[in-house]
Structure 1
Amino acid sequence: MSAEPLAQRLRAAADAHDRAEAADLRLSVGELVRLHDDASVAVLLMLMSALTVVPIAGAGTVLSFGLVVIAWAWVRGQDRVPLPRRLDGLTLNETWTRRCLHGLAWVYEQATRWLRPRWTVWSHGATRALWGAWIALMAAIIFLPLPLGNVLPSVSLILLGLGWMARDGIALLLSTLVGSAAVGYTVSLGHLALTALAPVRGWLGL
């Protein structure tokens, strides 16, 4: 499914949510996926990456494993992947349900406006293994308990999913740049942690 019908569907769902009289209207991850109809692996990657920044206890950990499953499907050339049961039932509260619906609608609307097929060598089938490894790398960073550590890898994977859907090589290039910044951020924090622990290691004789 292209970004334009997805934008229309998510915008309609967001507007319907705003008009609903129920005080506690919540959606699960599985229900968000089903709003995308028959979601491709690229759509699922984009959606799950966006959800990694939602402040739900343990969501980043669960979603990072789901992203590894997507990475493996990507390498194998599969365009569909079943959603793990535990992830399917992960439920957003009313506030984040509304924010996700509006946020996803906005993302697809911007994708419709700005993305188009270009530099298609970046989305050639021969690159699938490389992108699969990239997804796994970003998932590993998301798994780590770093302050704001989910943001950059999430943005990288959102750009990857949208770029692959639109066959837009510029979006894919931006994905690598943002992801490289995520790697740099992770390495920098690791270096700071090791520096801070140096006196303790010296005291222990390690």
Structure 2
Amino acid sequence: MPRDQHAREPLSEILREISERAEPTVSVGEFMEMFGGRAMGALLLVFGIACTLPLPPGGTTIFGAPLVLLAPQLMIGSRAPWLPARMRAQSIATADLRRGLPRVLRWLRRIEAVSRPRLLFLFGAWGHRAVGLVCTILALVLILPIPLGNMLPAAAVSVLSLALVQRDGVLALFGYALAVLSGGVLVLAANLIARGLTQAFELLASA
């Protein structure tokens, strides 16, 4: 299918086509080619969604690493993503995509059905940099081995990146709200852990 036709397709449809490919695997580079001019936001979305899934320990570190490379590029104003050749060559089995994508595609289609370009002032040069800055901070959180600490940051990255693809300012505002919420939850969790450790040390000292 020509690239200009992909440019008019909803992102959910491109993901569906990728998952139904006859080839046993699809590389990150092929993802980038099919997403075309939307590759920056689309790749952030794909890796963000991957980090929301129930992954084994270290899983968010693996999928968060490309986010650490991509989000700063958005922050400095780049519209076309760059990834090292080794990362572009990495592939995922299409069978795995067929197992994991249906649930994602259902909610993605629902959002696409109601989403539209609005509040476009949020997507000027500084708007893209703001999204890139927030996603960079969230990506750094995602690569940390924090138990159950990936869901809200990954959801915020996913919503913000989808807002970029759709140029939907309402989605962007929701993504910023999720980012603030995830930051608050992480700070609260850190305080609770610190308090628990302090009490444990005090008990040991008084024993």
Counterpart position of 1:151: 151
Name the counterpart of 1:9: 14
From the superposition, tell whether residues 90 and 60 of structure 1 become closer, same or farther in structure 2 (CA, over 3 Å). Answer: farther
Cα distance in structure 2, aligned partners of 1:53 and 1:126: 27
Deviation string 1:144-189 (CA, Å, 9 cap, x unpaired) is: 2223221111111111111112221100010011111211121111
Output aligned runs, 1:76-87, within 5 Å.
76-85=76-85, 87=87
Q: 3-state SS of the aligned residue for 2:48?
A: helix
Counterpart in 2 of 1:41? 40
SS in 1 for 2:82: coil
**Partner residue in 1 for 2:3:** none
Aligned to 1:118, the other structure's residue is in SS state coil
Q: Are the aligned partners of 1:156 and 1:175 in contact in 2 as well (CA < 8 Å)?
A: yes
In the other structure, the counterpart of 2:115 is 115
Q: How does 1:166-205 map to 2 (within 5 A)?
A: 166-202=166-202
Q: Spell out the pairing of 1:33-72 with structure 2 (5 A cutoff).
A: 33-37=32-36, 39-54=38-53, 55=55, 58-72=58-72
Are residues 113 and 2 of structure 1, via their aligned partners in 2, closer, same or farther at CA, if it must alter by over 3 Å? farther
Partner of 1:125: 125
Partner AA of 2:77 in structure 1: G
Structure 2 distance, partners of 1:98, 1:8, is 13
Q: CA deviation at 1:103?
A: 4.2
In the superposition, relative to structure 1, how do residues 160 and 3 fare at CA in structure 2: closer, same or farther (>3 Å)? farther
After alignment, is 86-95 or 112-121 more displaced? 86-95
CA 1:96 to 1:184, structure 2 compared with 1: closer, same or farther past 3 Å? farther
User: Using the alignment, how far apart are the partners of 1:3 and 1:155 within structure 2?
Assistant: 25
Structure 2: which 5+ residue stretches go unaligned?
1-5
- Counterpart in the other structure of 2:161: 161
Deviates further, 178-187 or 81-90: 81-90
Which stretch shows the higher mean deviation, 101-110 or 175-184? Answer: 101-110
Q: Tell me if structure 2 keeps the 8 A contact 1:3–1:112.
A: no
> What whole-Å deviation, never above 9, does each CA across 1:84-130 have from its counterpart, x for those lacking one?
45544555567642234334543542343011111122222222332
Which residue identity lines up with residue 137 of structure 1 in the other structure? I
Q: Secondary structure at the match of 2:149?
A: coil
User: What is the CA RMSD across the aligned residues, in angstroms?
Assistant: 3.0
> How many residues of Structure 1 are paired with residues of Structure 2 in the alignment?
199
Answer yes or no: is the 8 Å Cα contact 1:2–1:165 preserved in 2.
no
Identify if the C-alpha distance between structure 1 residues 164 and 176 changes in structure 2 by more than 3 Å, giving closer, same or farther: same
Q: Quick check: 1:10–1:35 contact (8 Å CA) kept in 2?
A: no
Q: Secondary structure at the match of 1:162?
A: helix
Aligned equivalents of 1:100, 1:83: Cα separation in 2:
24
For 2:10 and 2:66, locate their aligned partners in 1 and report how far apart those are by CA, in whole Å: 25
Q: 1:49 to 1:165 in 2, by over 3 A?
A: same
